[in-house]
Amino acid sequence: MNISINNSKENEPKEETKEVSASELRQDIVSGDWVVIATGRAKRPGDFANFERNKDDKGIEECLFEDPVASGQEKDVLIYHKADGDWTLRVFPNKYPAFSQGELPHPISEGPYFAMSGVGYHEIVVTRDHYRQLAMMDTMEIAEVFDAYQDRYLEHMNKKGVNYVTVFHNHGKEAGASISHPHSQLMAIPVVAPYIKLELDGAEKYYKSNKECVFCTMAEYESEEGKRTIFENEEFIAFCPFASRAAFEVHVMPKKHSPYFERINDEQKVKLAEVFGKALGAIYKALNDPPYNFYIHSAPCDGRDYPHFHWHIEILPHTATWAGFELDTGIEISTLQPEVAAEFLRKQLEK
């Protein structure tokens, strides 16, 4: 039996091909970490607004932070009031702290392993309105939050056994917020965080090679270039980093060199609140109230001098989930170019 096979494709319909720019491996100029900007998986900016958030809000009636005294929280260590006597912000020790107050940390050994007692301080910073998150607040309200961060930072930084103070904020269940009422957390701990150590080393290495601060270099370049900038004033700038770890990641930093967040003055707090509020508000509008984390990276308070560091805030919306590649390599994949993300965020500020 003779079987004739025609391999010619001349008469077959041709598939339309979409021209896609090549994916890029981008390196973080400070930490040296790599990220993948996966244009082959690229999404349109508006696609990220379809994220299904788990808004498991039990309401004011069951909220532990609506009336912290009545719900049995620890005694306030800081509280701000309005003229009518109602509170606007309060800070109290975490009822279930990750670090326990106590004596100086002591070493714990087991065979080849090393550990130390988890001694430190863990506080909660709560704003008044249960339904009004930071992205909805005006400049002066946000400035008050930064004032509270600074107050508590200064309170803990010189305590024995404290070498680093971290301030962070979780918004949304997917970002780790177990209570929906807007709140931030502050931890004063005996060790310098590994990621901060990476940034410290990277900043020093860059300075030795280039004789200038790497963060100042970034702030100046992004301000001049403009394509990744979201908003800026004379003191601060918000931009999507060149090597963004996820779509719509934003960094906020002072334009003038400053290693220490805790040294910010009142005028700078207002300028910071303006830029930070614009960036967070743009993310809120663009992504339809996504879960996110933000955190302040300041130089350690371990008694050493860090002249090459430059404090900043990182805002990281939850727009992706780590899978095998990320867990295996530590290289994160973003499906949106930061230049496109920044343009989309700028448009939200024009509306």
Q: How many residues does the chain have?
A: 351
Q: Is residue 21 part of a domain?
A: no
Q: Is residue 170 part of a domain?
A: yes
- State residue 44's pLDDT score: 81
Domain containing residue 89: CATH number:
3.30.428.10
Pairing of strands 113-116, 164-171: unpaired
Residue 18 near residue 37, CB atoms below 8 Å: no
Q: Is residue 252 part of a domain?
A: yes
- Residue 266, classified by CB atoms within 10 Å of its CB into exposed (0-12), middle (13-18) or buried (19+), is exposed
Q: Is residue 103 part of a domain?
A: yes
- Under DSSP, is residue 264 helix (H, G, I), strand (E, B) or coil? coil
Q: What are the beta bridge partners of residue 254? A: 236
Name the residue among 264, 244, 305, 217 with its Cα closest to residue 28: 244
- State residue 327's pLDDT score: 85
Rounded Cα distance, 112 and 271, in Å: 50
Q: Is residue 199 part of a domain?
A: yes
Q: In terms of residue numbers, what domain contains 243?
A: 66-350
Q: Is residue 146 part of a domain?
A: yes
Query: For every one of its 351 residues, what pLDDT tens digit does the chain have, with 9 covering 90 and above?
Result: 444 434 444 444 444 434 446 789 999 999 999 999 987 666 788 778 776 666 656 678 889 999 999 999 999 999 999 999 999 999 999 999 999 887 788 888 899 998 988 899 999 999 999 999 999 999 999 999 999 999 999 999 999 999 999 999 999 999 999 999 999 999 999 999 999 999 999 999 999 999 999 999 999 999 999 999 999 999 999 999 999 999 999 999 999 999 999 999 999 999 999 999 999 999 999 999 999 999 999 999 999 999 999 999 999 999 888 889 888 988 889 889 999 999 999 999 998
- State residue 3's pLDDT score: 41
- State residue 57's pLDDT score: 63
Contacts 24+ apart (CB under 8 A), 51-54: 51/287, 51/288, 51/290, 51/291, 51/318, 51/319, 53/172, 53/173, 53/174, 53/288, 53/289, 53/290, 53/291, 54/172, 54/173, 54/174
Half-sphere exposure of residue 76: CA atoms within 13 angstroms, side-chain side: 18
Tally of structural domains, the chain: 1
Residues 6 or more apart whose CB falls under 8 angstroms from that of 110 comprise none
- State residue 56's pLDDT score: 59
Q: Is residue 49 part of a domain?
A: no
Q: What DSSP designation does 178 have?
A: S
37: its two tokens: 């900007």
- State residue 54's pLDDT score: 63
Q: Is residue 113 part of a domain?
A: yes
